[in-house]
Amino acid sequence: MSIFTASITFAFVDDKGKTSSTKIRIPNTLSLAAISAFTLASAQVLADFSACQLTSARPCIGLDLSSATIRAIAGAGSDIAEKAWAIASTAFGTQSKMIMPTATDSYVLAGTDVIDETNLDVAAVVAVLEDGIVTTGGTIAPVDLRDNDLEAVDSFTEKFRKFTGR
């Protein structure tokens, strides 16, 4: 797997309240600052062209996962409707959740919907959420919407959700 492109999604709203979007791709060999600069400049061009209002400009950059260990095919019986819900809190008491599809039944404690955090695979996910991952530039640790560090996973449970995809 290699790094592909940065895909920038521009969202619009018209005066009736209807929404739509369009997308432009650029190489992701650029720095994040350069991608942001392109996004802002192209947003102005699109805003000038369109009679709608531009409501957001969101670049998404495909990350190279070639150094990750990823199974070649999905496990038998895996289902995206089977979720693992991790709720973590910050030092300020605010909470953030991560909902992970294709959870594994075998990690759930018998007679409960609680995921067993003593299991090594579960503990590894908890450790990432609480402590982050050490990278060349320093430790990147997950945060909440307001950029506050997640300090503790408060609950980790299995939940089933209806699949609404097409």
Residue number with CB closer to another protein (7 or 89):
7
- Is residue 94 a contact residue for another protein (CB under 8 A)? no
Give the distance, in angstroms, between the CA of residue 69 and the centroid of all CA atoms in the same chain.
Answer: 18
User: What's the start-to-end Cα distance of the chain, in Å?
Assistant: 27
Least Cβ distance, residue 19 to another protein (angstroms): 7
**Ramachandran quadrant class, 142 (left: phi over 0; alpha: psi -120 to 50; beta: rest):** beta
Among 130, 131, 145, 158, binds another protein (CB under 8 A): 145
Among 110, 118, 147, 162, binds another protein (CB under 8 A): 147
Least Cβ distance, residue 87 to another protein (angstroms): 13
Over the window 35 to 74, marking each residue x when it contacts another protein by CB under 8 A and - when it does not, the resulting string is xxxxxxxxxxxxxxxxxxxx-xxxxxxxxxxxxxxxxxxx
- Is residue 163 a contact residue for another protein (CB under 8 A)? yes
Specify whether the CB–CB gap between 13 and 78 falls below 8 A: no
Least Cβ distance, residue 119 to another protein (angstroms): 9
Cα separation, 23 vs 83, in Å, equals 30
Least Cβ distance, residue 124 to another protein (angstroms): 5
- Is residue 90 a contact residue for another protein (CB under 8 A)? no
Specify whether the CB–CB gap between 61 and 35 falls below 8 A: yes
Cα separation, 106 vs 102, in Å, equals 12
- Is residue 27 a contact residue for another protein (CB under 8 A)? yes
Specify whether the CB–CB gap between 57 and 38 falls below 8 A: no
- Is residue 110 a contact residue for another protein (CB under 8 A)? no
- Is residue 152 a contact residue for another protein (CB under 8 A)? no
- Is residue 118 a contact residue for another protein (CB under 8 A)? no
Residue number with CB closer to another protein (73 or 110):
73
Letter string b/e over residues 35-52, b meaning 16 or more CB atoms within 10 A of that residue's CB: beebbeeebeeeeeeeeb
